[in-house]
Amino acid sequence: AMNNMFVAILLFLHLRFSITRDPYDAKTAALIIGLGLSNQHTIIFYALPIVSMNIKKDPSLLLRPHLFLSLCCWGLVGLLPYVFLMLAAANPPLGSWGATDSMEGLIRHMLRSEYGTFRLYMGDDQQAQSNLTNFLVNYALDLLQQTQYVGVLLAILGFFYLFIDTKTMGKEKREKDRANRCESGVAKEFLYLLAFYLV
């Protein structure tokens, strides 16, 4: 649940930054990425495309040395829960996160090497990993049932609408279409991110 919260905040900040280009939103997003990474590594699948897309849109803004250094610092501030783990390991509570009192133990915890870096659960459930096809089929069937087939039809229409060339529209329409382009970009990103969610 906390990972979903960080992803939702990150997507909100991305959308807001796409509209306002306010460096404050970028700094807050860097902090959220750091906090999200200290919670779960899979947020990187959301953070990398969002960061790369924003750098591609306006490299002169985000790659300015002062702002870039500030973004890196805010990202490191987001990783401060790891410092707390090292300090708290002196008196390990019940259900602790392992031996994080040494640098080796902290790195082992940060890389989640006990159960795998990008695995979302602990345990040896190889059958769950091998049944990805069954999961995807069941997910698709449930999606059809949950949306009464209308949702899937609308999603397909929306998918094709994303790739309609806006250059053919009139000049007035293009000027009013800035928010729609932003929504279109975010929707394309959601399609990209959905692939990582399903896999």
Asked if 34 contacts 77 with a C-beta cutoff of 8 angstroms, the reply is yes
CA distance 27 to 36: 14
Per-domain residue ranges of the chain: 2-110, 126-198
Kindly tell me if the per-residue pLDDT of 3 is higher than 90. no
**Greatest mean pLDDT among 29-38, 132-141, 155-164:** 29-38
DSSP assignment of 87-101: HHTTSPPTT--S--S
With cut-offs at 50, 70 and 90, classify the pLDDT of residue 129: low
Of 70, 73, 71, 96, residue with least CA distance to 84? 96
What is the rounded CA–CA span in Å between residue 118 and residue 51?
A: 20
pLDDT digits (tens, 9 = 90+) for 144-191: 888 888 888 887 887 777 666 555 555 556 555 655 666 666 666 666
| pTM exceeding 0.85 | no
pLDDT tens digits along 34-62: 999 988 888 888 898 888 888 888 888 88
Least confident of 14-23, 63-72, 85-94, 179-188: 179-188
Contact 132, 147 (CB under 8 A): no
Q: How confident is the model at residue 67 (pLDDT cuts 50, 70, 90)?
A: very high
- Give the pLDDT confidence score for residue 48 in this predicted structure: 87
Residue 106: is its pLDDT beyond 90?
no
**85 touches 97 (CB < 8 A):** yes
Instruction: Answer whether residue 64 shows pLDDT above 80.
Output: yes
Helix (H) or strand (E) holding 44: helix 44-57
How far is the CA of 129 from the CAs of 120, 123, 124, 125, 142, in angstroms?
11, 12, 10, 7, 20
